[in-house]
Amino acid sequence: MLIDIDRLPKDGLRLSGDFDFMSLDLVEENAVFLEPAHAEVHVRMLGDEALVQGEITAKLSFVCSRCLTPYEFPVRSKFDLVYLPEELDANPDELMDDEIDRMYYRDRRLDLRAVILEQLNLTFPAKPLCAPECEGICAVCGEVVRDGGCSCMVKESDPRWNKLKFVVKDKS
């Protein structure tokens, strides 16, 4: 959805709607949409700056990186962004610290779909977990430990041998 900056009303433009993204658009490769992403957005101009404020809600399914079980991941995220005209960028060779997080619009248009997708991707965890205390999969039998399906007895070594383990590791 492209927004023509020159056609924005003085008080801005309020938009509300669903965005149908493909799962391939997401940075999390195992994520699947359970519901379309919904966004409430307000775009207004302040001089040459495009101010974009809004909130995204979505429901996705992720795969836990420890136990490989799918789980529901609800998204509710607010954002407040400022976009500058691309002409102000002038393609410098080196960015200063205060310029790193600047965003630009091109040809007097703002791609709202790209803004929503970027903000949605930023809400994802680096390592998806179904629960912080997830113990994952048993290394012996391959069952999910959380479900109680694992009945493996983990053999604890005789503590008298622990000092020899370090000696063997040091020689390697």
Least confident of 2-6, 31-35, 86-90: 86-90
Give me the pLDDT at residue 89, please: 53
Pairing of strands 103-105, 70-85: parallel
Residues 63 and 108 in one domain: yes
pTM value is 0.72
Residue 44 belongs to domain spanning: 2-122
pLDDT one-digit tens code per residue, 40-61: 999 988 888 888 999 999 999 9
Within 10 angstroms of residue 48's Cβ, the number of other Cβ atoms is 13
Kindly state the tokens that stand for 67. Answer: 């136990």
172 pLDDT band, cuts 50/70/90, is low
Torsion of CA 129, 133, 137, 140, to 10 degrees: 160
- Per-residue confidence at 96, pLDDT binned at 50, 70, 90? low
Please indicate, yes or no, whether residues 80 and 115 belong to a single structural domain of this protein: yes
Same domain? For 89 and 14 the reply is yes
* Assigned domain for 62 exists: yes
Please indicate, yes or no, whether residues 117 and 158 belong to a single structural domain of this protein.
no
* 33 & 115 share domain: yes
Q: Is residue 131 part of a domain?
A: no
Residue-wise pLDDT for 118-136, tens only, equals 999 999 999 999 999 888 8
pLDDT at 30 over 60: yes
Quote the number of domains for the chain.
2
Residue 147 lies in a domain: yes
Which 3 state secondary structure label does DSSP give 168?
Answer: helix
